[in-house]
Amino acid sequence: MVRKICMLISISLLTMYPLHSFAAHPFKTKHANAFGKGNMRFLMEGAAAQVDDHKDIYSLPITAVTYSFGDWTLMGVQAQYKFINHDKEVHSTSGVGDATIFFRHTPFHLDYGHIGAQVGVKIPTANDDRKLGTGETDYELTLIHSYFGENIITHINCGVEVLGNPKHRSSHEAVFSYSAVAVFPLHKRIKYFVEVQGRSGKSVFKNKGLLRSGLIIPISHSLELGCAGGVGLTNDSPDWEARLGIYWTWQRGEEIPHH
């Protein structure tokens, strides 16, 4: 019932407010554009989720740094600090999770949107004995479509993740991943977004989906705050999720492009 109510509210809000174009930074869905040649983007997010009605997972924080080679090309590094609390078990654990390196490029610019791709590799830098990582190397290939219209901005992702199975060493499984987001303003200084994210896998990876909605609040020309809440869409998904983020762009000199 809660999931149905959240979906109805999100759809209703999408039809109630006037729209216009602006650059967007959703929580999970990748976007085709970068942040201006020579600029660096710093991302820091705190997240909390509950799984199986008893295990709380906190990421404090998820941190990423990206460098833009141009308006449509960037590379980045991402890592996170995890705290996992087992309410019905004896132990908890915390520490630095795995690190990810990624490269994104958008070569196609058409009337109906921009098409690009991201490739990435997750390096098993975490202590997997403490359940902070998988102890396996993962690979990612994601196709990205971004539409920057006068009335709405949308990003659609689909791709393949080759994930290392932590229960079977040196065994990998290819899973299909997808996400989509629509972003528009509630007010001159507040942006609202609705986002869906998921993947389809077997064995330990299973089928997961999450519906998320939230706000992006510009504080200055280069600083934004974000907050969001989400609910699981499948039995294998987290029961709920909450996120809080801060995004800052270090400018080399030129204005940040808005496409």
What does the pLDDT look like over 231-257, one tens digit per residue?
999 888 888 999 999 999 998 755 555
Tens of pLDDT, residues 123-174: 888 765 556 667 788 999 999 999 988 778 999 999 999 988 766 666 788 9
What's the pLDDT at 152?
Answer: 86
Rounded to whole angstroms, the Cα distance separating 118 from 51 reads 29
Answer yes or no: is 254 within a domain: no
Q: What are the phi and psi torsion angles at 109 (to 5°)? A: -130, 105
Q: Cβ–Cβ contacts within 10 Å for residue 147, how many? A: 17
What pLDDT does 207 receive?
87
Judged by phi (left if over 0) then psi (alpha if -120 to 50, else beta), residue 188 lies in alpha
3-state helix, strand, coil in the chain (%, to 5): 5, 60, 35
Tell me which of 164 and 1 has the higher pLDDT. 164
- Cα-based torsion angle of the residue sequence 48, 49, 55, 59 in order, rounded to the nearest 10 degrees: -40
Q: Which domain holds residue 121?
A: 2-201+210-246
Number of domains composing the chain: 1
For residues 36 and 2, give the distance between their C-alpha atoms in angstroms, rounded to a whole number: 40
Helix (H) or strand (E) holding 183: strand 172-187
- The per-residue pLDDT for 116 is 97
Q: Tokens in use for 256?
A: 């940040």
**Pair 122, 99: CB distance under 8 Å:** yes
pLDDT of residue 127: 64
CATH number for 139? 2.40.160.40
Residue 253 included in any domain = no
259 domain residue, yes or no: no
Q: How far is CA 115 from the centre of its chain?
A: 18
| pLDDT at 196 (0 to 100) | 96
What is the rounded radius of gyration, in angstroms, for the C-alpha atoms of the chain?
18
What residues contact 111, with CB distance under 8 A and at least 6 apart?
Answer: none
Which pLDDT score is estimated for 86? 59
pLDDT digits (tens, 9 = 90+) for 72-126: 999 999 988 777 765 455 467 777 878 999 999 999 999 999 999 999 999 888 7
Q: Does residue 252 form part of some domain?
A: no
The whole-number average pLDDT for the span 210-218 is 93
Residue 256 lies in a domain: no
pTM exceeds cut of 0.85: no
> What amino acid occupies position 251?
Q
Question: Residue 96 has what pLDDT?
Answer: 80
| pLDDT at 21 (0 to 100) | 34
Q: Taking 50 as the threshold, does the pLDDT of residue 2 lie above it?
A: no
Instruction: Judge whether 139 lies within some domain.
Output: yes
**Which percentage of the chain shows pLDDT scores above 70?**
77
Tokens 């490029």 sit on residue: 105
Check pLDDT > 70 for residue 11.
Answer: no
Distance CA 235, CA 217 (A): 32
Count CB atoms within 10 A of the CB of residue 139: 15
Residue 228 belongs to some domain of the structure: yes
